[in-house]
Chains A and B, each alone.
Chain A
Amino acid sequence: MNLEFNEDQALLFETVDSAVGRGYAAGGRAEATGSELGWNEGVWRTLAEMGITGLTITGEHGGADAGPVEVYATLEALGKHAAAEPLLDGVFLPSWLITAVGTDEQAKQLLPALAEGTQTVAVAHAEPGRPWNATPSVTATRRADGSVTLAGVKAPVRHADQASSLLVTASDSDGTTGVYVVEAGAEGITRADGRSADWSRASQVTFVDTPATPLGTAGADVAAALAAAFARARVAVLAEAVGLMESALTLTVEYLKNRKQFGVPLSTFQALVHRAADLYAHVELARSMALWATATVEAADGGADVDLAAIADDAFVFVGDTATAVAEEAVQLHGGIGMTYEAEVAHQAARLTAITESFGGVAAARRRAVASESALRAPSALLNNSGAVTA
């Protein structure tokens, strides 16, 4: 029983923390997301050189074949600096999908460039005005010559502007959901680029008779693999949220100590100090939840019989609710300055807000969790410690 990093994982956190920290001085997120690229090129190169872009990819394809705890350590360090590098959206998530669904040939073709950090892949799943779990309205049509084309609209697609290719979910003529590989420059693609609420890049991507290749065997139902990859992503993003919340709390505490009104520091007002104490308590509980969910994913990878989707929803809802509370309180305790684009805490709040709406969002996860049988199951954080809860 243990929820701590081992030595290597602690070292990984420190290494990523210091590498990212060098590229992200205070206010670094605004600069990075405002650049042509949308993130910090130097930081990305460093992460690639350190092998971080290959964390979730097997050694065969040039990766480090690391587990969920290494992903956690990396993303918490990124979150600590509110860094904008698309490790999860552009590398980890696509690598999980490609590994789970793709053919050996596709894995060989796509994964090495991701591992090297020379390319990113955008996952195009969300559709405007439709719930995350709906069957895709984008259609995949097979021509007489066996080629496939896509038609429809995806939005938002994070970091589509820099991606070398897209993994697009679509329904075929049988109504089966598949994932399709589309080259970024393929014909019939139009992109309307914008930004997400967290100032990272996002686009609407429209497909008109766009040539595509099925990921994996044509016609295979990939719904389960998709759901598993998104569950994994929901857990992974919580590490970034923990890093962000920790930093937002630190900034807020510093602000309470330094900001003076009525001739005294704000920290002399108990009403404010107690709110900071509550923030601390919430962040620590959220950290425990995120670590626990990460350990559960690790156990699942080791063959343990756990309901990964349900656990991801539980953790995503709990940490997501905390993220909302921390974002709101950190801005409120900063007062007007916390509302400004120049303020670091504003970017932390914006990114936390975007996280709560990622991968289908907290409200949908809550609906699934509340409707599922697990909602009334007696909680036990240890996998082999149930039973004997009795009066």
Chain B
Amino acid sequence: MDLELSSEDIEFRDGLREVFLREIPEEIRRRNALSRITREDIVTTQRILNSHGLAVPHWPVEWGGKDWTPTQSHIYASELQRGSVPQPLAFNVSMIGPIIAEFGTEEQKRTFLPATANLDIWWSQGFSEPEAGSDLASLRTTARREGDVYVLNGQKTWTTLGQYGDWMFVLARTDPDAPRKQQGLSFLLLDMTTPGIERRPITLVDGSAEVNEFFFDNVRIPVENLVGEENKGWSYAKFLLGNERNGIAQIGTSQRVFADLAEAAGGIPTETGALADDPQFRASMHRSRTTLLALEATQLRVTGASENGQASPVSSLLKMEGTKALQELSKLRKEAASQDSMLLDTEAVVADEASAVAAAQYLNQRKLSIFGGSNEIQRGVIAKTILGL
């Protein structure tokens, strides 16, 4: 066994840090830690990363991929999170990019991939519907073929950052008579300037407006914007699930949140001294700390296994336990801030910015165990695929 990065990996990591910590403006990284990044922050960051060849490293090499080792991919995801660098937009780099690269036409690749990598096109995800959440295959939005176009009717929801979307990848039903609900779905690319689209923002419990509903009324999509084959959309959507598992546990983010909280606790007063000396706080932090060590060790085992060409079935475990760990830390941060997190949307001078947003962040982070396959879905996957239950 060996608990050290090789000198090549250290060099690789330091090269990444050079870009992440020097090229990405500190203001952007700070706003990201406070959940206050803007559209421009995300665009600026991704373009800087792209200019260094670091926006789409896991794409095919001919479209800007890096062909990294699993260890290098792990270091990349980890360093982005530890440095509080806004992640390249997942809808672009982890979802539609790999789909088009794998299943798209040459024309689609040329049209979309470079612009997607550089965030010249902002993609939105059109998957979930009011009656199709965890049970995605039950979706009802239809795309009826009429000559050279598909006519889209229906509704999508939970569209994260859809207010900025230039294009949307949509999973819609093209064959309503297919024998199984997973059949008869197609993967379509929709220009959001097309007539017949209505957007309604959804305000979340923390006050953020990061998700949206979309309504489609006879929206016409040219047939050349079909990805792959008609009625094979489900297999492309499933391809996403097996794609890019690095960083799924957000261990690097948790490590950063832990370090920030440990430092802040020295300056947060309690009735008897500083929070950093409070036994109950220390016990909670110790629990967090050991959990993060176990998670990182698990991630290292997974990475090591894929270096040896073995697939690991534990991504459900990492997603579930990793997000729980980050949620737990956000709760500790809120408890540390206490009433200082209870005055929002004001110009008032607050104790410190991280405390001021702590309760809102805590509420927002509840999403982690719901999106991307809720923890209940992950337990089902573990039970079925690993335990055979």
Chain A residues near B (Cβ < 8 Å)? 1-4, 69, 253, 256-257, 267, 270, 273-274, 276-278, 280-281, 284-286, 288-289, 291-292, 294-296, 298-299, 304, 314-315, 317-318, 366, 369-371, 375-385, 388-391
From A281, A292, A385, contact of B13 by CB (8 A): A385
Contact in complex: B301, A375 (CB < 8 Å): no
Contact in complex: B3, A375 (CB < 8 Å): no
Contact with A along B243-271 (1 / 0, CB 8 A): 00000000000011011101001000000
Beyond known contacts A1-B300, A277-B382, A288-B294: 12 more, CB 8 A cutoff = A2-B304, A256-B389, A276-B383, A277-B387, A280-B382, A281-B317, A288-B295, A291-B301, A315-B290, A317-B286, A376-B289, A379-B290
Contact in complex: B5, A382 (CB < 8 Å): yes
Task: State the CA gap A276–B32 with chains docked (Å).
Answer: 37
Task: State the CA gap A286–B301 with chains docked (Å).
Answer: 13
Contact in complex: A280, B386 (CB < 8 Å): yes
Task: State the CA gap A281–B295 with chains docked (Å).
Answer: 10
From A274, A366, A381, A384, contact of B296 by CB (8 A): A381
Find the B residue at minimum CB distance from A272: B389
From B9, B286, B304, B388, contact of A369 by CB (8 A): B286
Interface stretch, picked from B57-65, B78-86, B120-128, is B78-86
**What's the minimum C-beta distance from B201 to chain A, rounded to whole angstroms?**
28
Q: Which 10 A-B pairs have the closest CB atoms?
A: A391-B33, A288-B297, A277-B379, A295-B1, A292-B297, A378-B259, A381-B296, A277-B382, A376-B262, A318-B290
Chain B residues 352-389 with CB under 8 Å of chain A are 376, 378-380, 382-383, 386-389
Interface stretch, picked from B161-169, B189-197, B230-238, B276-284, is B276-284
**What's the minimum C-beta distance from A267 to chain B, rounded to whole angstroms?**
5
**A384 — which chain B residues lie within 8 A by C-beta?**
4-5, 10
**What's the minimum C-beta distance from B322 to chain A, rounded to whole angstroms?**
10
Contact in complex: A391, B286 (CB < 8 Å): no
Contact in complex: A381, B13 (CB < 8 Å): no
Find the B residue at minimum CB distance from A295: B1
**A1 — which chain B residues lie within 8 A by C-beta?**
2-6, 9, 71, 300, 303-304
A-B contact pairs, 17 of them (CB 8 A): A3-B301, A257-B388, A277-B379, A280-B317, A281-B382, A285-B295, A285-B298, A292-B297, A294-B1, A314-B293, A370-B279, A370-B286, A375-B289, A379-B258, A379-B292, A382-B5, A391-B32
**What's the minimum C-beta distance from B379 to chain A, rounded to whole angstroms?**
4
From B33, B279, B301, contact of A288 by CB (8 A): B301
Task: State the CA gap A267–B383 with chains docked (Å).
Answer: 10
**B293 — which chain A residues lie within 8 A by C-beta?**
289, 292, 314, 318, 379, 381
Contact with A along B5-43 (1 / 0, CB 8 A): 110011001000100010000000110110000000000
Most B C-beta atoms less than 10 A away, residue of A4, A284, A317, A376: A376
Contact in complex: A391, B84 (CB < 8 Å): yes
Contact in complex: A389, B255 (CB < 8 Å): yes
Contact in complex: B300, A381 (CB < 8 Å): yes
Most A C-beta atoms less than 10 A away, residue of B1, B6, B295, B387: B1
From B4, B21, B383, contact of A382 by CB (8 A): B4
**B386 — which chain A residues lie within 8 A by C-beta?**
280
Contact in complex: B317, A284 (CB < 8 Å): yes
Contact in complex: A390, B83 (CB < 8 Å): yes
Contact in complex: B262, A274 (CB < 8 Å): no
Task: State the CA gap A317–B290 with chains docked (Å).
Answer: 9
**What's the minimum C-beta distance from B298 to chain A, rounded to whole angstroms?**
4
**B71 — which chain A residues lie within 8 A by C-beta?**
1
**A256 — which chain B residues lie within 8 A by C-beta?**
389
Contact in complex: B388, A253 (CB < 8 Å): yes
Contact in complex: B289, A377 (CB < 8 Å): yes
Contact in complex: B13, A391 (CB < 8 Å): no
Task: State the CA gap A256–B17 with chains docked (Å).
Answer: 49
From B10, B256, B317, B321, contact of A389 by CB (8 A): B256
